[in-house]
């Protein structure tokens, strides 16, 4: 005779393990303070069992333009305890603790772990011109490219990122 409690427990554990986003964090760590913020966001989402961190790699070839208009680090982070390592990094990076900083990498983490916050356009391609300038080209399609836009307002996303960056890890 099967034990229904044991079966339910196994199914619950299996579902919770596979329902989390499993990811390898690709970062250009060291070039800016948003990388440390993104790492804090990712660890907090892992603490909340929304993500499983498989590993980290370093690269500088990934671009997320959406974070250009999302400014974080200057609202809640200044009021966190001094032992918060993200607060220290934002304090050291060109006044980011007072002025805030673009949040490219934090947005990229949320796109991976909480895709329900974003709209995805799949017809088109990312084009790069003049070195660093990029734009979304709707005339040409690359099925491996997607454009991402917010479903919520920028302030709501900034506050979410600030909450996740400001909490100390478990």
- Our CA angle for 161, 167, 170, nearest 5°, is 125
| 3-state SS, residue 116 | helix
pLDDT of amino acid 64: 58
10-residue block means of pLDDT along the chain (170 residues)?
A: 36 51 79 84 93 80 71 94 90 92 90 91 84 81 87 93 88
Three-class secondary structure of residue 73 per DSSP: coil
Pull the structure tokens for residue 110.
């949320």
Q: What is the pLDDT of residue 27?
A: 74
């Amino acid at each position: 005779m099967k034990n229904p409690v044991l079966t339910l427990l196994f199914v619950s554990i299996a579902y919770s393990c596979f329902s989390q986003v499993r990811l390898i964090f690709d970062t250009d760590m060291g070039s800016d303070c948003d990388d440390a913020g993104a790492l804090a966001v990712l660890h907090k989402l892992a603490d909340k069992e929304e993500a499983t961190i498989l590993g980290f790699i370093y690269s500088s070839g990934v671009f997320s333009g959406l974070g250009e208009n999302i400014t974080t680090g200057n609202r809640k982070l200044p009021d966190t305890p001094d032992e918060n390592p993200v607060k220290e990094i934002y304090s050291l990076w060109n006044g980011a603790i007072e002025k805030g900083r673009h949040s490219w990498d934090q947005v990229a983490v949320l796109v991976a772990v909480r895709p329900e916050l974003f709209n995805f356009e799949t017809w088109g391609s990312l084009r790069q011109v003049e070195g660093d300038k990029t734009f979304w080209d709707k005339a040409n399609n690359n099925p491996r490219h997607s454009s991402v836009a917010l479903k919520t307002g920028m302030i709501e996303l900034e506050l979410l990122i600030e909450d996740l960056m400001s909490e100390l890890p478990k």
